Amino acid sequence: MSVCNEIIEYFGRYPTKPLMGLYTQEHDEIFFVSSGDKEGHAPFEVGVFELGQSMIDFLYDPAYERVVGALLASADYVKRILDAPDDVDRWAPFYHLLQATQGQFFYFYLVQEIVTAYKNKMCRPDGTPYPTDYFCEIGRSYQCLRARVQDVLGACFEETAKNGATAIERYIEKFTKDTLSYADVSGELIPAKPYKEGEPMTYKMVEVLHPKMPEDIGNFLFFQYLKENILLKRCENCQKYFVATGRSNVKYCDRVVNEKGKTCRQIIPAITFRENKKYSPAEKVFNRAYKTLYSRMSVGKLSKDLFKEWSKEARQKRDDCTAGKITLEDFERWLVDGD
């Protein structure tokens, strides 16, 4: 299939009016994307995060540079499209941008405005044209949001910065002149459960934000975080933020940090155990004895088989000593006398 046909098919699968929304409920923040082509605006994708988590994920999202870089470089592409909006080949850069953002973080669903622009020949649904720097503006808003996230999270929600104050008290102190403004908030019915074709929909009433720009997302969520006085900590292993509300004694996050899928919270106890074991009295006397016998084996004064047999038994005795099953004195005596 040619790139031209791929683009036509790709855009053809999208609704004419994709609608992104988010709301908070208890200690969760919920994102959804609904289609204006489906009766009742049934969500076709939903993401649920612990309150505070989506902002952290956005801060560390690996797709950020690629997506925002493409948006900031889009002005020339828009000008070419405006010259010949029916020339599908001219849409290839936007097509590849969307391909790159598919399956990425929910904050990037605002990029779907590109799809709406395509379906409306670079015009808004009301017929007014998009400015040529429209997508650059979205990119700049992502940049502003990220900088704002770095400032506000550290100043208002991080455990060490709060120093006994509430998040709101810290915000008033640090950002006295700032207001948290966001557009298009409405009380509305949203599906109470995931949409399944052929099943009747049930609804609930919530206050929903339909963001126009990425900064709307940040301002809306910051206000919710301030009200709930959420607590963030920095992981003592990876140094990245994690939500700590209700578990203030936790030092490590659940972020996957190695190729085996292990998290900081899983790997650190094992590392600590190895380090403690490394410097234990039993380990020290074992190492001295091991070096002595290894030297004797190397010069032919001890056979390899006897050394292996001794090494196996000595490691077991060392572990028993570390576990408190035998005393250090008994272990040292065994290393010297062999019984």
Closest CA to 59 of 234, 268, 265: 234
Of 33-47, 67-81, 318-332, the range with the lowest mean pLDDT is 33-47
Per-residue pLDDT at 3 exceeds 50:
no
The percent of residues above 90 in pLDDT, for the chain, comes to 14
pLDDT at position 21, please? 83
Closest CA to 42 of 202, 250, 163, 280: 202
**Share in percent of the chain as helix, strand, coil (round to 5):** 50, 15, 35
- Is residue 168 classed as helix, strand or coil in its secondary structure? helix
pLDDT band at 40 (very low <50, low <70, confident <90, very high): very low
pLDDT at position 219, please? 93
CA atoms within 13 A on the CB side of 304: 1
Per-residue pLDDT at 10 exceeds 50:
no
Dihedral angle at the C-alpha atoms of 277, 281, 286, 289, nearest 10 degrees? 150
Does this model's pTM top 0.95? My answer is: no
Q: Is the dihedral of CA 333, 334, 336, 339 positive or negative?
A: positive
Measured CA to CA, the distance from residue 95 to residue 101 in angstroms comes to 10
Per-residue pLDDT at 15 exceeds 60:
no
Helix (H) and strand (E) counts in the chain: 14, 7
C-beta separation of 36 from 18 below 8 A:
yes
Closest CA to 20 of 168, 169, 182: 182
DSSP 249: T
Measured CA to CA, the distance from residue 81 to residue 134 in angstroms comes to 13
Mean pLDDT across the stretch 250-278? 71
C-beta separation of 208 from 184 below 8 A:
no
Measured CA to CA, the distance from residue 76 to residue 98 in angstroms comes to 17
Strands annotated E in the chain: 18-25, 28-35, 43-50, 185-191, 203-209, 232-234, 241-243
pLDDT at position 273, please? 47
The percent of residues above 70 in pLDDT, for the chain, comes to 77
Q: What is the mean pLDDT of the chain?
A: 78
pLDDT tens, residue by residue, 206-258: 898 988 888 999 999 999 999 999 999 988 888 899 988 766 678 888 888 77
Measured CA to CA, the distance from residue 62 to residue 149 in angstroms comes to 16
C-beta separation of 179 from 18 below 8 A:
no
pLDDT at position 169, please? 92
pLDDT at position 144, please? 93
Most confident region among 164-178, 263-277, 283-297 by mean pLDDT: 164-178
Query: For tokens 């077991």, what's the residue?
Result: 316
Residue 69: which residues within 8 A CB-CB, separation 6 or more?
A: 139
pLDDT at position 41, please? 46
pLDDT at position 44, please? 53
Give the residue, 156 or 78, on which the prediction is more confident: 156
pLDDT tens, residue by residue, 146-185: 999 999 998 999 888 888 889 999 999 999 878 888 878 8
Per-residue pLDDT at 193 exceeds 80:
no
Per-residue pLDDT at 195 exceeds 80:
no
pLDDT at position 228, please? 92
pLDDT at position 35, please? 59
